[in-house]
Protein backbone atom coordinates (compact mmCIF):
# COMPACT_ATOMS: atom_id res chain seq x y z
CA UNK A 1 0.00 0.00 0.00
CA UNK A 2 1.12 3.46 -0.71
CA UNK A 3 0.74 5.53 2.46
CA UNK A 4 1.19 8.82 0.76
CA UNK A 5 -1.75 11.09 0.63
CA UNK A 6 -1.34 13.78 -1.93
CA UNK A 7 -2.41 17.34 -1.40
CA UNK A 8 -5.09 18.83 -3.54
CA UNK A 9 -6.82 22.17 -3.96
CA UNK A 10 -8.66 22.30 -0.67
CA UNK A 11 -6.46 19.99 1.39
CA UNK A 12 -5.75 16.33 0.80
CA UNK A 13 -7.06 14.47 -2.20
CA UNK A 14 -10.31 12.77 -1.35
CA UNK A 15 -9.51 9.62 -3.33
CA UNK A 16 -6.16 9.17 -1.53
CA UNK A 17 -7.79 9.67 1.89
CA UNK A 18 -10.59 7.24 1.01
CA UNK A 19 -8.07 4.67 -0.29
CA UNK A 20 -6.00 5.10 2.88
CA UNK A 21 -9.07 4.67 5.11
CA UNK A 22 -10.19 1.64 3.05
CA UNK A 23 -6.69 0.20 3.44
CA UNK A 24 -6.79 0.70 7.22
CA UNK A 25 -10.30 -0.78 7.40
CA UNK A 26 -9.17 -3.76 5.32
CA UNK A 27 -6.16 -4.32 7.59
CA UNK A 28 -8.32 -4.09 10.73
CA UNK A 29 -10.92 -6.44 9.23
CA UNK A 30 -8.13 -8.96 8.54
CA UNK A 31 -6.88 -8.59 12.10
CA UNK A 32 -10.46 -8.92 13.43
CA UNK A 33 -11.05 -12.05 11.31
CA UNK A 34 -7.80 -13.58 12.56
CA UNK A 35 -8.78 -12.75 16.14
CA UNK A 36 -12.26 -14.22 15.57
CA UNK A 37 -10.62 -17.41 14.27
CA UNK A 38 -8.30 -17.49 17.29
CA UNK A 39 -11.25 -16.86 19.62
CA UNK A 40 -13.18 -19.64 17.90
CA UNK A 41 -10.20 -22.00 18.26
CA UNK A 42 -9.73 -21.00 21.92
CA UNK A 43 -13.46 -21.53 22.56
CA UNK A 44 -13.25 -24.93 20.89
CA UNK A 45 -10.19 -25.84 22.98
CA UNK A 46 -11.95 -24.51 26.07
CA UNK A 47 -15.00 -26.70 25.36
CA UNK A 48 -12.72 -29.69 24.85
CA UNK A 49 -10.92 -28.95 28.12
CA UNK A 50 -14.23 -28.48 29.94
CA UNK A 51 -15.41 -31.86 28.62
CA UNK A 52 -12.11 -33.48 29.60
CA UNK A 53 -12.28 -31.81 33.01
CA UNK A 54 -15.85 -33.08 33.53
CA UNK A 55 -14.74 -36.57 32.53
CA UNK A 56 -11.77 -36.34 34.87
CA UNK A 57 -14.03 -35.28 37.74
CA UNK A 58 -16.36 -38.17 36.92
CA UNK A 59 -13.43 -40.60 37.01
CA UNK A 60 -12.20 -39.00 40.23
CA UNK A 61 -15.61 -39.47 41.83
CA UNK A 62 -15.66 -43.10 40.68
CA UNK A 63 -12.18 -43.64 42.08
CA UNK A 64 -13.17 -42.02 45.36
CA UNK A 65 -16.24 -44.27 45.54
CA UNK A 66 -14.06 -47.30 44.81
CA UNK A 67 -11.54 -46.14 47.42
CA UNK A 68 -14.33 -45.69 49.96
CA UNK A 69 -15.71 -49.14 49.10
CA UNK A 70 -12.26 -50.69 49.47
CA UNK A 71 -11.72 -48.86 52.76
CA UNK A 72 -15.09 -50.10 54.03
CA UNK A 73 -14.24 -53.63 52.89
CA UNK A 74 -10.86 -53.48 54.62
CA UNK A 75 -12.42 -52.15 57.82
CA UNK A 76 -15.14 -54.79 57.63
CA UNK A 77 -12.54 -57.50 57.06
CA UNK A 78 -10.46 -56.22 59.97
CA UNK A 79 -13.53 -56.22 62.23
CA UNK A 80 -14.48 -59.73 61.11
CA UNK A 81 -10.92 -60.93 61.61
CA UNK A 82 -10.85 -59.36 65.07
CA UNK A 83 -14.20 -61.03 65.90
CA UNK A 84 -12.93 -64.38 64.62
CA UNK A 85 -9.78 -64.05 66.71
CA UNK A 86 -11.78 -63.07 69.79
CA UNK A 87 -14.17 -66.00 69.26
CA UNK A 88 -11.25 -68.38 68.73
CA UNK A 89 -9.55 -67.08 71.89
CA UNK A 90 -12.78 -67.51 73.87
CA UNK A 91 -13.25 -71.01 72.49
CA UNK A 92 -9.62 -71.86 73.27
CA UNK A 93 -10.05 -70.54 76.81
CA UNK A 94 -13.24 -72.60 77.24
CA UNK A 95 -11.56 -75.72 75.87
CA UNK A 96 -8.52 -75.10 78.09
CA UNK A 97 -10.76 -74.65 81.14
CA UNK A 98 -12.72 -77.82 80.28
CA UNK A 99 -9.52 -79.80 79.78
CA UNK A 100 -8.11 -78.42 83.03
CA UNK A 101 -11.30 -79.55 84.78
CA UNK A 102 -11.06 -82.97 83.13
CA UNK A 103 -7.40 -83.24 84.17
CA UNK A 104 -8.30 -82.26 87.73
CA UNK A 105 -11.06 -84.91 87.80
CA UNK A 106 -8.71 -87.50 86.30
CA UNK A 107 -6.03 -86.60 88.86
CA UNK A 108 -8.59 -86.87 91.68
CA UNK A 109 -9.72 -90.23 90.33
CA UNK A 110 -6.10 -91.36 90.01
CA UNK A 111 -5.47 -90.26 93.60
CA UNK A 112 -8.50 -92.26 94.78
CA UNK A 113 -7.36 -95.27 92.78
CA UNK A 114 -3.88 -95.01 94.32
CA UNK A 115 -5.47 -94.77 97.75
CA UNK A 116 -7.63 -97.80 96.95
CA UNK A 117 -4.58 -99.70 95.69
CA UNK A 118 -2.64 -98.77 98.83
CA UNK A 119 -5.64 -99.75 100.95
CA UNK A 120 -5.96 -103.07 99.10
CA UNK A 121 -2.23 -103.57 99.36
CA UNK A 122 -2.30 -102.95 103.09
CA UNK A 123 -5.34 -105.16 103.41
CA UNK A 124 -3.61 -107.86 101.37
CA UNK A 125 -0.46 -107.49 103.50
CA UNK A 126 -2.57 -107.66 106.66
CA UNK A 127 -4.41 -110.72 105.36
CA UNK A 128 -1.15 -112.37 104.38
CA UNK A 129 0.32 -111.62 107.83
CA UNK A 130 -2.80 -113.02 109.40
CA UNK A 131 -2.52 -116.20 107.30
CA UNK A 132 1.18 -116.33 108.01
CA UNK A 133 0.47 -116.06 111.70
CA UNK A 134 -2.17 -118.77 111.41
CA UNK A 135 0.24 -120.92 109.45
CA UNK A 136 2.89 -120.34 112.08
CA UNK A 137 0.36 -121.35 114.74
CA UNK A 138 -0.52 -124.43 112.77
CA UNK A 139 3.10 -125.29 112.25
CA UNK A 140 3.81 -124.67 115.95
CA UNK A 141 0.80 -126.82 116.96
CA UNK A 142 2.12 -129.66 114.92
CA UNK A 143 5.39 -129.67 116.65
- Supply the pLDDT for residue 143: 63
- Supply the pLDDT for residue 124: 93
Instruction: Answer for the pair 4, 16: CB distance below 8 angstroms, yes or no.
Output: yes
- Supply the pLDDT for residue 15: 87
- Supply the pLDDT for residue 140: 78
Each of the 143 residues of the chain gets a pLDDT tens digit; together they read 556 778 777 777 888 889 999 999 999 999 999 999 999 999 999 999 999 999 999 999 999 999 999 999 999 999 999 999 999 999 999 999 999 999 999 999 999 999 999 999 999 999 999 988 888 888 877 66
- Supply the pLDDT for residue 3: 67
Instruction: Answer for the pair 74, 68: CB distance below 8 angstroms, yes or no.
Output: no
Amino acid sequence: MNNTIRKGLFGYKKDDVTAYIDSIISDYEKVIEEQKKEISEVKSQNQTLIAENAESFKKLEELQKERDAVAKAVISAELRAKKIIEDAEEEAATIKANKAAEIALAEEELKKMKENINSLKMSAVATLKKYEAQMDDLVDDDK
